[in-house]
Structure 1
Amino acid sequence: MSTSLQISLAVGGGLVLAGIVAHGAWSARKNQPKQATPPKPPAGPEPVPPQEPENPLQPPVPTLMPEPDALAGRQEPSFDIDTSLGALEQLTTPEQRKPVLDILIDAIAPVTLESPVSGEAALAAMPATRRVGSKPFAVEGVNVVGGQWEIPAAGQRYSAFQCGVQLANRTGALNPIEYSEFVVKAQSFADAVGGTPEFAEMAQEVARARELDQFSSAHDAQLGMRLRAHRTAWSPGYVQQSAASQGFVATAIAGRMVLPSGQSGHGPILGLSFDAQAAQAEDPEQTALYELAMSLDVPQVLRSEAPFARMCEIAIALASSMDGVIVDDSGNPIRPETMEAIHADLEQLYDRMDARELSAGSALGRRLFS
């Protein structure tokens, strides 16, 4: 009797212990971060269909092969490179020589010349740094061939120049000290090329800079959304795979991905980021992520790209596929009606920027909001 009781207790204890172990394993799997789906193995070669027996009444079809002499005389297509040009000429293309200065956002000093100046002389006269304080400094010349303004390049000749400094950017407005530095740099360049500069009054340009800075500050919209894990955490690989399914690509910065623009020469439409330390962990797939962030730099992206609408669509799609919740920086849920209100405000902002000829994503807009 006692033996049967002991056996029963032992069996019962074993079942309880097995249940505890199984529950622990289940809990561990439940709390493990979601993993990326392994890529499917490449498909094997297609099976070769069985060959039908040859018809003795039908002669075999000959295989056409090129004659050996024809192969020997064939040449692959190639691209000729003119190695007689100097390094500067090879590296400077017409696209890179396009003018950048514009009276809308630059203080410009014309430089008159008595005779044309070579591009080599202009390049040698350039200041060591192309900045005035925190603002970009640039020089442009009128090419004697065609009469177009362009960035000076070797191998060209110029009949006039102009020096310019940007009136405002995200660091603030051009101040009197920076304008004075601009005058010194422009005068030095003019002296080196034998030209005579003409400068606008400092008070006038500083006032223009302040007004432009006020406009840019009122229209510098940078929007963000966060996606927060609802039940189960994510691994970095799972986040990257999910984001890649929406068109994002990884960058050289750990934990940073971007949605590329479809327009040549433009920066990314959206940014996506998550914990960089998690992305660089020794075993990132065992690292738990509970949040990722999406960002839109409005003035840097063309209106035609519909960036905010795409941001909302992607956030909703990721929230659905990753079991997440869309929140703002304060952790408050962002609902569809909130997205619609933001979109309406954004359209008015676009209209004001267009009216000022500083459209979002345009060359001037990108320079001003940089």
Structure 2
Amino acid sequence: MSLQLSLLLLGVLLLLVMAVYYAWLARKNKPRQAEPVAPGQVAALDARIEPHLSDHPLDGDSFASSPAPEKKPTLDPLIDAVAPIALEAPVSGEAVLAALPSTRRVGSKPFFIEGFNALAQRWESPSAGQQYSQLQAGVQLANRSGALNDIEFSEFVMKTQNFSDAVNGTPDLPAMRSEVNRARELDQFASGHDAQLVLMVQARRAAWSPSYIQQTAARLGFVMGSMAGRLVIPASTSGLPPVVSLNFDTLTALADDPTQSALRQITLGLDVAQVDRGEKPFVRLREVADALAREMDGMVTDDQGAALSPEGMTVIASELEQLYDMLAQRELAAGSPLARRLFS
């Protein structure tokens, strides 16, 4: 065999070896894909259902597979400035609805009107076909946007007065300085007791496709949220915030060919004040984080990418129990209607 032919054969062999190597490398680095779904099998992630984040949500979908929560009056002096409205005579629900302002916000705070239904003997949001012997207006003192300020309080006064004039009522408005001071104190407490826990699961080797993440998460009880790249574990009661959320890059989730998208991390979140303590949310957060890491060959880290030890998790759990106790002592128990409004 001539030297030239030997070199040619060696070159061909080298090209074959390189082709096999790069094929193996491409296969190794290809994002993990979801397993095929058998015909007739219904995937757990088909529905886009996410519980509301408050009693008066601005967006989101409801989770409808469990009993509806008890409806309670919205306004509470603990977190609201309330103005009773004296009436010359009972008014119809239709008249109240017609007199409502076009927007139900005062700056960044929710504005409310409630009526006392004499027949049902309860305060409620006005509705057609009912009669109301008393009315009250209110504005929330604080939320995650901050405390009610002087300008917002003045707007509350104007809205309440205009509404009262329309229903022939006389409002008993609270003093601005007192309510603004209460708002600041409440905001200070809320700011010091607002916890939103975040864990991350990061890939050790192979990346993940969105469908692989969704399929793996579905086995752990996650369902699709209201936005692309978001999944949630629903609360046990209809209409309440999710116990745990899972998020990954939205653009990746919306890619033309998601199977070719590569993700190397997902984020798990728990909004502490929004979820009832009885749901054992931190326990479930830890369980799903560990299960996802195990199933997807990943590792659990904090939001800065540092690995979390079991001892570190135990410390967080202990601090969380103290936070739950402090919220309950302030009559703002985690997951309660007032806590969900204040921490929103």
TM class, shorter-chain normalised?
0.7 to 0.9
CA-to-aligned-CA distance 1:227-286 (integer Å, 9 cap, x gap): 111011111111111111111112342211111111122021111111112112222111
User: C-alpha distance in 2, partners of 1:317/1:37?
Assistant: 18
Q: Which residue identity lines up with residue 140 of structure 2 in the other structure?
A: Q
Q: Which residue identity lines up with residue 281 of structure 1 in the other structure?
A: A
User: C-alpha distance in 1, partners of 2:71/2:318?
Assistant: 39
1:137–1:165 CA contact under 8 A, matched in 2? yes
- Structure 1 counterpart SS, 2:85: strand
1:213 corresponds in structure 2 to 187
- Structure 2 counterpart SS, 1:115: coil
Alignment of 1:1-370 (within 5 A): 2=1, 12-41=10-39, 98-370=72-344
Deviation at residue 28 of structure 1 after TM alignment: 1.6
Q: Structure 1's 115 and 95: CA in aligned 2 closer, same or farther, altered over 3 A?
A: farther
1:98–1:151 CA contact under 8 A, matched in 2? no
User: C-alpha distance in 2, partners of 1:293/1:354?
Assistant: 28
Deviation at residue 210 of structure 1 after TM alignment: 0.7
Q: Structure 1's 195 and 17: CA in aligned 2 closer, same or farther, altered over 3 A?
A: closer
Deviation at residue 125 of structure 1 after TM alignment: 1.3
Indicate the structure whose relative CO is greater, using CA pairs within 8 Å and at least 6 residues apart. Answer: 2
Deviation at residue 114 of structure 1 after TM alignment: 2.2
1:57 corresponds in structure 2 to none
Q: Structure 1's 17 and 354: CA in aligned 2 closer, same or farther, altered over 3 A?
A: same
1:97–1:151 CA contact under 8 A, matched in 2? no
Q: Aligned-pair RMSD on alpha carbons?
A: 2.0
Q: Which residue identity lines up with residue 107 of structure 2 in the other structure?
A: G
User: C-alpha distance in 2, partners of 1:301/1:97?
Assistant: 17
User: C-alpha distance in 1, partners of 2:23/2:92?
Assistant: 77
- Structure 2 counterpart SS, 1:333: coil
CA-to-aligned-CA distance 1:29-54 (integer Å, 9 cap, x gap): 111111111123459xxxxxxxxxxx
User: C-alpha distance in 2, partners of 1:235/1:275?
Assistant: 11
Q: Which runs of 5+ in 1 are unaligned?
A: 44-93
Q: Percent of pairs identical after alignment?
A: 56
Deviation at residue 198 of structure 1 after TM alignment: 0.7
1:73 corresponds in structure 2 to none
- Structure 2 counterpart SS, 1:177: helix
User: C-alpha distance in 2, partners of 1:201/1:17?
Assistant: 85
- Structure 2 counterpart SS, 1:146: coil
Q: Which residue identity lines up with residue 33 of structure 2 in the other structure?
A: Q
Q: Which runs of 5+ in 2 are unaligned?
A: 42-67
Q: How many residues align?
A: 318
User: C-alpha distance in 1, partners of 2:332/2:40?
Assistant: 50
User: C-alpha distance in 1, partners of 2:83/2:7?
Assistant: 98
Deviation at residue 17 of structure 1 after TM alignment: 3.5
Q: Structure 1's 255 and 364: CA in aligned 2 closer, same or farther, altered over 3 A?
A: same
